[in-house]
Amino acid sequence: MRAERQAGFTLLEAMVAFAIAAIALAALLQGGLLGLRSTQIAGRTEEALARARSRLAALEGRPVTAMDQRGEDGGGFSWRLRVVPEASAGGVTLYAVSVAVGWRDGGEAREVRLETQRLGVTAAR
For the entire predicted model, the pTM comes to 0.73
What one-character-per-residue DSSP string does 13-53 give? HHHHHHHHHHHHHHHHHHHHHHHHHHHHHHHHHHHHHHHHH
The pairing of strands 108-121 and 92-105 is antiparallel
Query: Which residues are within 8 A (CB) of 94 and not within 5 positions of it... i.e. 6 or more apart?
Result: 85, 86, 87, 88, 117, 118, 119
How do residues 1-60 score in pLDDT, each as one tens digit? 455 556 677 888 889 999 999 999 999 999 999 999 999 999 999 999 999 999 999 998
Whether the Cβ atoms of residue 122 and residue 91 lie closer than 8 Å to each other: yes
The structural domains of the chain, with segments of one domain joined by +, span 2-121
Other C-beta atoms closer than 10 Å to the C-beta of 80 total 16
